[in-house]
Amino acid sequence: MLKKFTNLAFQWRLSLLSLTPLILFFFLLTNSIYLNQLFHNSTPSPPHHQILNKNSDLNQTRIAICLVGGARRFELTGPSILKNLLEEYKNADLFLNAPLDGDAYKFFLLKRAPRIAGVRIFEPEFMNETQAQIRVLTADNSPNGIQGLLQYFNLVEGCLNLITSYESKHNFTYDWIVRTRVDGYWSAPLSPAAFTHGSYLVPEGSRYSGLNDRLGVGDRSTSIAALSRLSLVDELNVAGYERLNSEAAFEAQLNVLGVRGKEMRFPFCVVSDRQYSFPPDRYGVPVASMASKGPLSGAKCRPCKPICRGQCVAKTMKELDKNWSWTEYKNGSLDLCNASGEWENGWEEIFDRIAGKDAAKERIEMKELDVKGCVKKFQAMKRRTERWETPALVRICRLGLERFESSTP
């Protein structure tokens, strides 16, 4: 992994040796001018906590939905995102920003989204770590250290860049931006109540001593504050922040820009293959059964036969730190898995029962897909997408579907 990053970084350096400082300079300059204008020099409009109550009001507005992240189990999460986000807000434009890896081929599932504005699948490159970033951020609890955080921040901000460049090309601005992860499993539609002026809406719980950063909904200016994750690290440094994890940095950047974060419960969970010991201790991670009644507000989940429900859940969850991995569990909303091992045998049947016939069909079709079929599906999606920025389709498909043959030349 590291070797690959180093090689990539080397090639990158060779080709852009002289341009890099210039680009970086302009990037920082334009971003800080932009943000300063938005949040410091102008008096913010008074928050009026108006809620748009019906989709019919919202469908008169312009919404961008930005999906980020690795496709890992997208055959399970993708159909639920289509149904509960994209088809629910048919007038919204979809933007996807994702790294190229062996699962990226699964993104063709998005071909039936109502509107696709921009798709970017890129080769991850090592990001040099600045002194400010090293001061402001901590590698604790980040599986890939500060580098992992920077990659994630870049992914999120990259989606904002896709959106703003689409806006300038078409000479309009979005009213709302919804940002979430491609590994979210949605069990019900995104509520219109999430579209609230004057604050940035995030899921309740899973706070990790900051704000849950697994989903965010806001108007344009609060969204710019929330999604400029990489360029705001310098502002956090100036403000004296140190050793922040992703969630704490998220809360800090909203504080610095005077944007209020507001929690709400949302009906999705983050499908994870990671293993966590059970029962979780104070700073452990509870893993929900995907069949939990919810809303799970972005808690980790997997398909399982729950090991813990009712009183057991109450007893377990009371042990957890409220500012860390805690999530709401009352009224039987949460059932827990023993996630200390791999996904259990028979998880496919469990998933199919939870997600229903159509989702089961897509899961099975994905297993039967070959490179040719994959390319064809991507071509159909590409035809519907204005801005398409990906490696060759055949490469994306081969990387996932010929994983074992492709390594021998």
Q: CB under 6 A: which stretch of 27-35, 211-219, 320-328, 397-405 binds ligand NAG? A: 320-328
Nearer Cβ to ligand NAG, position 341 or 409?
341
Q: Of residues 4, 322, 361, 383, which one binds ligand NAG by CB under 6 A?
A: 322
**Shortest CB 170 distance to ligand NAG, Å:** 9
For position 331 contacting ligand NAG by CB under 6 A, the verdict is yes
For position 338 contacting ligand NAG by CB under 6 A, the verdict is yes
Do residues 152 and 246 make contact, with C-beta atoms less than 8 angstroms apart?
yes
Q: CB under 6 A: which stretch of 55-63, 108-116, 228-236, 360-368 binds ligand NAG? A: 55-63
Beta carbons within 8 Å of 176's beta carbon, 6+ residues apart: 58, 61, 62, 63, 64, 195, 217, 218, 219, 220, 223
Q: How many residues bind ligand NAG (CB under 6 A)?
A: 18
CA gap 371, 254 in Å, rounded: 44
Nearer Cβ to ligand NAG, position 274 or 361?
274
Is residue 365 classed as helix, strand or coil in its secondary structure? helix
Nearer Cβ to ligand NAG, position 69 or 298?
298
What is each CA distance from 131 to 137, 251, 358, in whole angstroms?
10, 21, 50
- Identify the CA nearest to 311 among candidates 294, 298, 330: 330
For position 128 contacting ligand NAG by CB under 6 A, the verdict is yes
For position 91 contacting ligand NAG by CB under 6 A, the verdict is yes
Residue 389 parent element (H or E):
strand 385-389
Beta carbons within 8 Å of 64's beta carbon, 6+ residues apart: 92, 93, 95, 117, 163, 166, 174, 176, 177, 178
| C-alpha angle 326-331-335 in degrees, rounded to nearest 5 | 60
Sign of CA dihedral 334, 266, 91, 159: negative
Interaction residues for ligand NAG, span 265-304 (CB under 6 A): 278
For position 330 contacting ligand NAG by CB under 6 A, the verdict is yes
**E runs forming strands in 123-194:** 176-181, 184-186
Q: Of residues 9, 38, 132, 314, which one binds ligand NAG by CB under 6 A?
A: 9
Q: Which residue is nearest to ligand NAG (CB)?
A: 341
Q: Of residues 8, 32, 59, 114, which one binds ligand NAG by CB under 6 A?
A: 59
Q: Of residues 18, 43, 56, 168, which one binds ligand NAG by CB under 6 A?
A: 56
HEC string of 243-272 equals CECHHHHHHHHHHHCCCEEEEECCCEEEEC
Q: CB under 6 A: which stretch of 27-35, 293-301, 311-319, 333-341 binds ligand NAG? A: 333-341
Q: CB under 6 A: which stretch of 147-155, 190-198, 212-220, 325-333 binds ligand NAG? A: 325-333
| Footprint of ligand NAG (CB under 6 A) | 9, 13, 55-56, 59, 91, 128, 171, 278, 307, 322-323, 328, 330-331, 338, 340-341
